[in-house]
Amino acid sequence: MPRSSRNALLDAAERLVAEHGADIPLREIAVAAGQRNNSAVQYHFDSRDGLIEAVLARRLVALEARRGEMLADLEAQGRERDVPALVRVLVEPMLLVPYADGATHYARFVDRVRHLEVFRSKGPADPSWPVTGRVLAALGEELPFSGRVLGRRIENLVVVLFSLVAEEERRRVDDDEDSTPVDETVATVTAMLLAPAGEGA
């Protein structure tokens, strides 16, 4: 499999899905990647789901590696039960790691596909996200909730995290606004997690 063709398709898919949504025709992705064969996506990835999974996986190794380093630092400091610090392990890599390689569409791509079954089956609960899974489990143990309320808080954490990071990416790329400090995003997510449960929860 020619690596250059595969990477061109991944780059095109990341950008076009981020800009137009997950239903964009596969032939448009192929054309944007410089492929003359309209079936190039099927050739390299079998299906739309296979392509989406590959785009996710391409950034995931570096993201999880950085999260692993941060979590190890917390454990060495005895801070592995610190909720804001655990939230930072999730947030900071998403705001920094993909862009070290020049990516500018990854967060918006994730925000576009997170409702799809391929993401739900290969998302943060999947073994391919080992450090994220550990952090979510640790947060679940530290939050002052249980049962359905706790489950909803963790689910909402994932939704809010991806939405905030995608919006930050839009600001950086589309509007050329000043970026939001990592600390502010961490504070926002932490406040959501720790807010008192509503009546009837």
Residues 80 and 135: beta-carbon distance below 8 Å: no
**Residue 191: per-residue pLDDT:** 96
Residues 191 and 155: beta-carbon distance below 8 Å: no
What pLDDT digit, counting tens, does each position of 147-171 carry?
Answer: 999 999 999 999 999 999 999 888 8
> Distance between CA 55 and CA 57 in Å, rounded?
6
User: Which two tokens mark 56?
Assistant: 């996710």
Neighbours of 56 (CB within 10 A): 23
In the chain, the N- to C-terminal Cα span, in Å, equals 52
**Residue 126: per-residue pLDDT:** 82
Q: What is the DSSP letter of 27?
A: H
**Residue 176: per-residue pLDDT:** 60
> pLDDT-derived band of residue 3, with 50, 70 and 90 as boundaries?
low
Angle among Cα 113, 115, 118 to the nearest 5 degrees reads: 65
Phi and psi for 19 in degrees, rounded to 5?
Answer: -85, -35
Please provide the average confidence, as pLDDT, over all residues in the chain. 90
> Distance between CA 9 and CA 181 in Å, rounded?
32
What pLDDT digit, counting tens, does each position of 92-131 carry?
Answer: 999 899 888 777 899 999 999 999 999 888 777 788 899 9
Quick one: average pLDDT of 71-100? 95
Residues 173 and 106: beta-carbon distance below 8 Å: no
**Residue 101: per-residue pLDDT:** 74
| Domains of the chain, CATH where assigned | 59-194 (1.10.357.10)
- pLDDT of 1 above 50: no
Measured between alpha carbons, how far is residue 54 from residues 141, 182, 192 in Å?
Answer: 32, 27, 31
The alpha carbons of the chain give a radius of gyration, in whole angstroms, of 18
Q: What is the DSSP letter of 171?
A: I
Residues 145 and 197: beta-carbon distance below 8 Å: yes
Give the residue ranges of DSSP H helices in the chain.
3-20, 26-32, 40-45, 48-77, 83-100, 106-113, 117-122, 130-142, 147-170, 182-194
Residue 97 neighbours by CB under 8 Å, 6+ apart? 59, 62, 63, 66
> pLDDT-derived band of residue 37, with 50, 70 and 90 as boundaries?
confident
